[in-house]
């Protein structure tokens, strides 16, 4: 992969190596954030990297949080044209903002089964060469829970089936969830289950020292060595700071900024 201004996040995710096979193939990435430090920028960065000209990835973007125009605007500033990618069938957008599950129980599950069906059929419908390079992104899981009327069991079932897709089609699964929603629970099962499912956990949180003007927060990347691929590095943990700017995000080690 040529040097596209690779940053610390790219390196932590192993995106600084060859782009084929895609380093995140078959892996599950969980982005955890909180109110003080939103992790959406990580998702945007991954969209940009997935759609780089040197890779063959197709993104199935399941959006519960924002409409297409929102992501288009942000990615344009990062140098990626989502409209073109959508027309090229590299960026498939599922607008889930209007998903309504009126009754509890069966239809919450039914809605998620239908969503799973849609994803599965989309993958199966891709041309042969594209089928192996799918990335499923979900923004975000807490809203999936809302759409399922709080049925976190159905959400976990849905995530399990998405996990099975990573195994069957070697696709990657990237999800975002908010850790602080669950922090008051005695046993935050949903987020814990997601952490167990994830191969890579990216946590965006404030600094332990509090607020700062030059640093917006810190990212901790826990990269569990995959058990199904030889040649992978073992478990690794990366920690660095970041600052979100208008057209880019800067990543740097603590104390290294001039």
Tell me if 244 contacts other proteins by CB under 8 A: no
Smaller CB separation from other proteins, 3 or 209: 209
Residue 79 CB, nearest approach to other proteins (Å): 30
Please identify, among the stretches 10-18, 71-79, 89-97, 115-123, the one whose residues bind other proteins according to the rule CB under 8 A. 115-123
105 contributes a contact to other proteins by CB under 8 A: no
Residues 158 to 177: which contact other proteins by CB under 8 A? Answer: 160-161, 164, 167-168
User: Does 38 sit near other proteins (CB under 8 A)?
Assistant: no
CA gap 45, 78 in Å, rounded: 8
Smallest gap from residue 68 Cβ to other proteins (A): 26
Between 32 and 140, CB nearer to other proteins: 32
Of residues 50 and 108, the one with the C-beta less far from other proteins: 108
Question: For residues 71 and 47, is the Cβ–Cβ distance under 8 A?
Answer: yes
98 vs 230, beta carbon nearer other proteins:
230
Place of tokens 């040529």: 2
Does position 193 interact with other proteins (CB under 8 A)? The reply is yes
Q: What is the 3-state secondary structure (H, E, C) of the chain?
A: CCCCCCCHHHHHCCCCCCCCCCCCCCCEEEEEECCCCCCHHHHHHHHHHHCCCCCCCEEEEEECCCCHHHHHHHHHHCCCCHHHHHHCCCEEEEECCCCCCCCCCHHHHHHHHHHHHHHHHHHHCCCCCCCCCEEEEEECHHHHHHHCCCCHHHHHHHHHHHHHHHHHHCCEEEEEEEHHHCCCCCCCHHHHHHHHHCCEEEEEECCCCCCCCCCCEEEEEEECCCCCCCCCCCCEEEEEEEEECCCCEEEECCCCCC
Q: Which of 195, 249, 250, 252 binds other proteins (CB under 8 A)?
A: 195
**Site stretch for other proteins (CB under 8 A), options 11-19, 43-51, 65-73, 119-127:** 119-127
The span of 38-46, 85-93, 134-142, 201-209 binding other proteins (CB under 8 A) equals 201-209
Interface positions with other proteins (CB under 8 A): 113, 116-117, 120-121, 124, 153, 156-157, 160-161, 164, 167-168, 187, 189, 192-193, 195-196, 203, 205-209, 218, 220, 222, 224-225, 227-228, 230, 232-237, 239, 254
């Amino acid at each position: 992969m040529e040097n596209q201004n690779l940053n610390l996040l790219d390196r932590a995710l192993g995106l600084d190596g060859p782009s084929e096979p895609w380093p995140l193939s078959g892996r599950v990435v969980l982005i955890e954030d909180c109110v003080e430090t939103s992790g959406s920028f990580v998702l945007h960065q991954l969209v940009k990297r997935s759609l780089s000209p040197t890779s063959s990835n197709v993104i199935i973007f399941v959006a519960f949080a924002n409409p297409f125009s929102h992501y288009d605007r942000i990615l344009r500033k990062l140098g990626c044209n989502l409209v073109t990618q959508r027309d090229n069938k590299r960026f498939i957008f599922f607008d889930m903002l209007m998903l309504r599950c009126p009754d509890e129980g069966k239809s919450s599950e039914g809605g998620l089964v239908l969503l799973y069906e849609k994803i599965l059929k989309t993958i199966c419908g891709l041309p042969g060469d594209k089928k192996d390079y799918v990335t499923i992104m979900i923004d975000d899981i807490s809203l999936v829970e809302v759409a399922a009327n709080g049925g976190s069991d159905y959400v976990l079932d849905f995530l399990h089936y998405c996990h099975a897709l990573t195994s069957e089609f070697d696709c990657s699964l990237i999800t975002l969830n908010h850790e602080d929603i669950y922090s008051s629970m005695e046993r935050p099962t949903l987020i814990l289950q997601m952490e167990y499912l994830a191969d890579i956990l990216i946590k965006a949180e404030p600094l332990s020292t509090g607020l700062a003007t030059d640093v917006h927060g810190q990212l901790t990347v826990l990269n569990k060595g995959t058990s199904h691929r030889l040649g992978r590095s073992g478990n690794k943990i990366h920690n660095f700071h970041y600052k979100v700017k208008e057209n880019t995000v800067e990543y740097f080690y603590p104390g290294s900024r001039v």
